[in-house]
Structure 1
Amino acid sequence: MKTPQAFVLPLLAGAALLPWPVAAQGSTPVVLTVASAPAGVRPALVRDEVAFADPIREAQRTLPQAKKRFLAGLAHGDQFLLVVRVMATDTSFRQASARVLGWHGNRVQALLLPEAAGSASSAEPVPVSFPETAVVDWTLRRASGREEGNYVGRYLDTACQLESLPFR
């Protein structure tokens, strides 16, 4: 398995530091797909798609089955989370988690969660609707703490661990 460590972590570090002016302005966040993204953001989205091609492909391959399980009903305390890309500036985006409320055909209704649980801001979740094609990753978080899915997240965790290994 190839791990583009030199490319992955700088890309993530830059994406994590991006501001999210949309929330500060109080307008609705824009959930992106490569097809619907403004021209200034498209190159960054394409680079992200290439860097995480395998885990994104696996997340999208398994999403229909996960969707069926969600629609059949989750146990009390379980949460179904999707990772999407949201406009950050005219030329950048950030990844965001959205807690799924429902599905209407191929459109997802969700609450876009605040950027970081430990941040000083008291931002509230924002209702959003977006096409399934905007989904980058999914996680079924059980009340017991067990997680299913999270393909991109686990890939990133592994890449960070590999990068922190000492050279010999």
Structure 2
Amino acid sequence: NILIKPHSLTQVRPQYANQRAKLAKWARFSNVYVANENDISLLPFIQNADILLSEASSTLFEFAAIDRPVIVCNFFKLKWTYRGIFKYRFEKRFGKDNVLYKEIGLHVDNYKSLIKAIPEQLANPQSYQANRQQYTHDHVGPTDGLASVRIVDYLEAFDKA
């Protein structure tokens, strides 16, 4: 089964009508669920997915925190206002953050490599596990379910100061 969670802007901006048409074609398959504009939270998708396929996205960190395989797709196409002579706009807005994702999981450069990588990563979820755990430690923090307790403790300590 395939779960597709497009960016919320894809759902609402007129310039993404072609992408919505492609998503509508995918949604016709019985084994595909394409999120709609009411599916705001990523959590149900993260909870139900065995593997994440994404480009440079903070979703990679969230998914890695549940210690499941991620594949970083390096073959996304930037919109024309970020390509060629306008590449400086992309770098100004997003910087060089893609290095953050360098070792979080397997990187693939094309669709053919992706199709081969998916079953390999599902069969070997332990590959990149140490990297996922390090990324979780560095970028997400504790995943023990006690975040609310820590927030309350912090607020109470701050209130006393």
Normalising by structure 1, report the TM-score: 0.26
**Greater per-residue helix proportion:** 2
- Higher relative contact order structure (alpha carbons within 8 Å, sequence separation ≥ 6): 1
Query: TM-score, normalized by length of structure 2?
Result: 0.26
